[in-house]
């Protein structure tokens, strides 16, 4: 289904979208990047020990009642994959991989080996990203087009592997592709093994309406990054930050209903990155280098939304001592998991909190 066809039919079925109750029976999963500080021991202490590998993460999130983990799978051995599989099965958890697509023909062997070994661990769905913040990485439209051609080539190289291994790969809207651009690329691939990992908040950085992003990419979605976002205006644009679910500007119930409409088997993975807000300098000329045809109405709509829905305060980690920063990260994750059950229809991950009692995690 094309984006145009979808948008034309959207109004017709909007009233029939599943309610949040349709999510009962599903547990919220988690993306490894939610543990921005602790992953691979970047920042840790005795109270919040490092996560050196996937087994450490699985042990920790089991206590939080998480239903799945989406984690990096590069460099795994068959022996380690067996341990991961046994751990997931004993904990009743699912596994998704995060993987780098082949850079060229010589890299296809590495890619297939990583897919094969991750399959031994139980992963049949993978997330990948082909780029980064487009407005920071590219100084001209030609540079971006060259990158886009390379990204499409990587997807073309990955598709036969995914087909052969009987897995699905979701390409994330990673502040690089517009939603319509990613949908067009996936349409050209036209493969049931290549879809989208839809991030609910990233594309605000490209001045896209987050609801339109989900409407456009939900027909292609094989996995998700679920987050809520908050904004504040700056002299050169705005600040954008992940915040606990329910504390931001996103219409998450409607987004979740769209995902369920198109793929009732889809799993949801929390990506709550606790960090300083990202600066989106959309009023600087350099920001527009790769957007020659972007309508000014998108800028006007986004800035109007920022002014109307500005947050009183955005999360910030710079200046915090290590223990406070680690506790802040964990607290935000726990808040999100509670909200997933209390507000959005997921099977509750955490026990109800007694009145007046602080989170134990």
C-alpha pair distances (Å), 196 with each of 183, 324, 341: 8, 35, 25
Q: What's residue 359's pLDDT? A: 47
CA–CA gap between residue 44 and residue 39 (Å, rounded): 9
Segment among 152-156, 246-250, 334-338, 351-355 with least mean pLDDT: 351-355
Segment among 28-32, 120-124, 137-141, 344-348 with least mean pLDDT: 344-348
99 contacts 74 by C-beta, under 8 angstroms: yes
CA–CA gap between residue 194 and residue 160 (Å, rounded): 10
* Burial (Cβ within 10 Å: 0-12, 13-18, ≥19) of residue 340: buried
Q: Looking at the predicted structure, is the pLDDT value of residue 75 above 90?
A: yes
Q: Which residues face 170 on adjacent strands?
A: 127, 195
pLDDT tens per residue, range 192-225: 999 999 999 999 999 999 999 999 999 999 999 9
CA–CA gap between residue 211 and residue 208 (Å, rounded): 9
- Give me the residue spans of the domains in the chain: 20-230+243-278+316-342
337 contacts 349 by C-beta, under 8 angstroms: yes
User: Is 313 in a helix, a strand, or coil?
Assistant: coil
User: What is the DSSP secondary-structure string of 274-310?
Assistant: -SPPEEE-TTSGGGGGG-TT--HHHHHHHHHHHHHT-
Query: Which residues lie below 8 Å from residue 225, measured CB to CB, with a gap of 6+?
Result: 31, 127, 172, 197, 198, 199, 200, 202, 269, 271
185 contacts 2 by C-beta, under 8 angstroms: no
Q: What's residue 351's pLDDT? A: 59
19 — pLDDT class (breaks 50, 70, 90):
low
14 — pLDDT class (breaks 50, 70, 90):
very low
Q: Which CATH number fits domain 20-230+243-278+316-342: 3.40.50.620, 3.40.50.300, 3.20.20.70, 3.20.20.150?
A: 3.20.20.150
Q: Among 176, 218, 169, 224, which residue's Cα sits nearest to residue 197?
A: 224
Q: What's residue 43's pLDDT? A: 85
- Higher-confidence residue: 271 or 349? 271
Q: What's residue 25's pLDDT? A: 80
Q: What's residue 6's pLDDT? A: 42
Q: What is the H or E stretch that residue 333 is in?
A: helix 322-342
By DSSP bridging, strand 269-270 and strand 221-225 are unpaired
Q: What's residue 44's pLDDT? A: 82
Q: What's residue 239's pLDDT? A: 98
pTM score, two decimals?
Answer: 0.90
CA–CA gap between residue 241 and residue 231 (Å, rounded): 6
Q: What's residue 180's pLDDT? A: 97
pLDDT tens per residue, range 313-358: 999 999 999 999 999 999 999 999 999 999 999 987 775 544 344 4
Average of per-residue pLDDT values in the chain: 91
The sign of the torsion formed by the CA atoms of 222, 227, 232, 235 equals negative
> How is residue 228 written in tokens?
């809520």
> How is residue 34 written in tokens?
């939610």
């Amino acid at each position: 289904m094309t984006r145009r066809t979808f948008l034309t039919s959207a109004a017709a079925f909007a009233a029939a979208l599943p309610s949040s109750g349709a999510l009962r029976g599903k547990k919220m999963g988690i993306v490894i990047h939610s543990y921005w500080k602790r992953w691979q021991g970047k920042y840790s202490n005795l109270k919040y020990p490092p996560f050196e590998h996937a087994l450490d993460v699985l042990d920790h999130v089991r206590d939080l009642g998480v239903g799945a983990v989406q984690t990096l799978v590069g460099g795994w051995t068959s022996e380690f994959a067996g341990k991961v599989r046994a751990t997931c099965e004993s904990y009743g958890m699912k596994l998704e991989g995060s993987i780098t697509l082949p850079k060229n023909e010589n890299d296809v062997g590495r890619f297939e080996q990583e897919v094969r070994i991750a399959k031994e661990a139980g992963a049949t769905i993978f997330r990948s990203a082909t780029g980064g913040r487009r407005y920071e990485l590219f100084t001209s439209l030609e540079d971006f087009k060259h990158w886009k051609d390379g990204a499409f080539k990587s997807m073309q190289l990955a598709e036969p592997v995914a087909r052969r291994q009987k897995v699905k790969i979701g390409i994330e809207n990673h502040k690089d592709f517009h939603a319509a651009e990613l949908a067009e690329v996936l349409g050209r691939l036209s493969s049931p093994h290549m879809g989208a990992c839809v991030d609910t908040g990233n594309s605000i950085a490209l001045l896209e309406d987050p609801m339109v992003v989900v409407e456009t990419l939900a027909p292609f979605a094989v996995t998700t990054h679920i987050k809520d976002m908050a904004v504040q205006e700056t002299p050169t644009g705005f600040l954008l930050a992940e915040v606990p679910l329910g504390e931001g500007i996103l219409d998450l119930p409607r987004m979740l209903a769209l995902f369920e409409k198109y793929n009732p088997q889809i799993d949801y993975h929390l990506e709550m990155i606790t960090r300083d807000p990202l600066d989106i300098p959309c009023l600087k000329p350099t920001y527009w280098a790769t957007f020659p045809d972007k309508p000014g109405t998108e800028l006007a709509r986004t800035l109007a939304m920022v002014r109307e829905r500005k947050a009183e305060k955005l999360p910030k980690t710079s200046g915090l001592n290590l223990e406070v920063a680690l506790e802040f990260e964990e607290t935000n994750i726990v808040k999100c998991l509670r909200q997933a059950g209390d507000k959005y229809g997921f099977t509750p991950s955490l026990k109800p909190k007694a009145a007046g009692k602080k989170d134990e995690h």
